[in-house]
Amino acid sequence: MFRTRPTRTWLTILGISVGISAVLFLVALGYGLQSVILEKIVFNQALLSLTVTPANEIIVFNEKAVGEIRQIPKVADVAPQATLTGQAVFGSLYGTLDLHAVDANFFDYAGIATFIGEVFDDSESDQIIVSAAVLKLFGIEDPQSVLGKQLNIQVVTVKSDANTSSPGTVLIPHPFTVKGVIEDLQGSYAYIPLKEIAKYVPLEEYDQVRVKVESDKDLIGVEGVIIEKGFQVASLSDTIEQANKIFQIVQIVLGLFGAVALVVSSIGMFNTMTVTLLERTNEIGIMRALGANKPNLKHLFLAESIIIGLLGGVVGVLLGFIFAALFNLGVNSLANHFGGASIDLFYFPNWFLGGIIALSAIIGFLSGVFPARRAANLEPLEALRYK
């Protein structure tokens, strides 16, 4: 086939490779999106933590409740969060934002990371972490430039007393230095040290607590005990499991779209092998006359079709890599133009690469079964007389 009809043969290989590359491109995109999203939320400490919130407004989530949770067996640590409404003052600009008062361990247990700078530790009482939306609020375009800058914080309180600078507000007497920025443009909020804010504002209750357990085997048991106490519990592992199920469906759907192109190219390959059989009928008659038996002819046609399928698979994988690289380059160029971060949208599991090449060989085999059977069953005299 490569000597007598090279153009047709290579076009057939190209047809198979287009189908293979389509499947590879779409499925790798699904895996890549899964990897990108899960990398944003998965931290080793976060996988061992539970998010505990009050089940209703009647339940008060105060220090006593946190202490009870801390005493539950297999609980390694707890990290409460108190959310307050406040104002940040940057130069002559004022902005309203949510203030999350937390200890440093909260970041690990909640899976929170900065994309500029870093989170504060418990020894730093005058540091603050802000969301990217806060920078937008103050018209700051370069996130890097805000590191080391100072913000004055006013906390809005329900009650007024002698310590307030104006009714209903408490001005923290020292500025906070911006140490990190969280990549979130949706909400204007900041994280401040809990122990520091508690010096000036009474924290009567918390809105949530992150509970770290000793091992992943303890998650279900500790969760059950906390629920019995009247709290709602969620875990990152549950979220990841649900996300993985969704992405499995996405990968299947994307793979089916690519499979349509693969089916069309497989039909083209079957047609090529059938036409080749008709063109080589005389040649088959000569081989039978020279002593070739039916298995010899069958193996010959099957070998040719498998080779074409394998070559189509290899070329398809190469094309898939090229298309993915070009698409990734275009997306990242666009993201960088608008100030976003570069990401890798594609992930190619080794087992999938091997599997898709094996699939191309199987397609070649199946496409050659019928022509090979017909070639083996041709009578020598009829084959020699065929024109």
Tens place of pLDDT per residue across the chain (387 aa): 556 667 777 888 888 888 888 888 888 888 888 777 766 655 556 778 899 998 887 778 889 999 999 999 999 999 999 999 988 988 888 889 999 999 999 998 888 888 899 999 988 889 999 999 999 888 888 888 889 999 888 887 754 454 544 457 788 888 999 999 998 888 899 999 999 999 998 888 899 999 998 887 888 889 899 998 889 988 776 766 777 788 888 878 877 877 787 787 778 778 877 777 667 767 777 776 777 777 777 888 788 888 888 998 899 899 999 999 999 898 888 877 776 667 788 888 888 888 888 988 888 888 888 877 877 776 666 656 655
Residues in a beta bridge with 51 = 210, 234
Q: Using CA atoms, how far apart are residues 326 and 319, in angstroms rounded to an integer?
A: 11
Residues 6+ apart with CB under 8 A from 4: 279
Determine phi and psi for 166, rounding to 5 degrees: -155, 160
**In this structure, are residues 290 and 303 in contact, taking their beta carbons and an 8 Å threshold?**
no
pLDDT at position 321, please?
A: 93
pLDDT at position 191, please?
A: 96
**In this structure, are residues 104 and 197 in contact, taking their beta carbons and an 8 Å threshold?**
no
Residues in a beta bridge with 75 = 213
Q: Using CA atoms, how far apart are residues 69 and 63, in angstroms rounded to an integer?
A: 10
Extract the tokens encoding 229.
Answer: 């106490």
Answer positive or negative: Cα dihedral of 173, 174, 175, 181: negative
Q: How far is CA 209 from the centre of its chain?
A: 26
pLDDT at position 71, please?
A: 93
Of 285, 324, 277, 341, nearest to 304 by C-alpha is 277
Q: Using CA atoms, how far apart are residues 237 and 109, in angstroms rounded to an integer?
A: 12
pLDDT at position 182, please?
A: 93
pLDDT at position 258, please?
A: 74
Residues 6+ apart with CB under 8 A from 363: 16, 262, 266, 269, 309, 312
pLDDT at position 73, please?
A: 93
Kind of pairing between the strands at 176-182 and 116-117: antiparallel
Q: How far is CA 131 from the centre of its chain?
A: 22
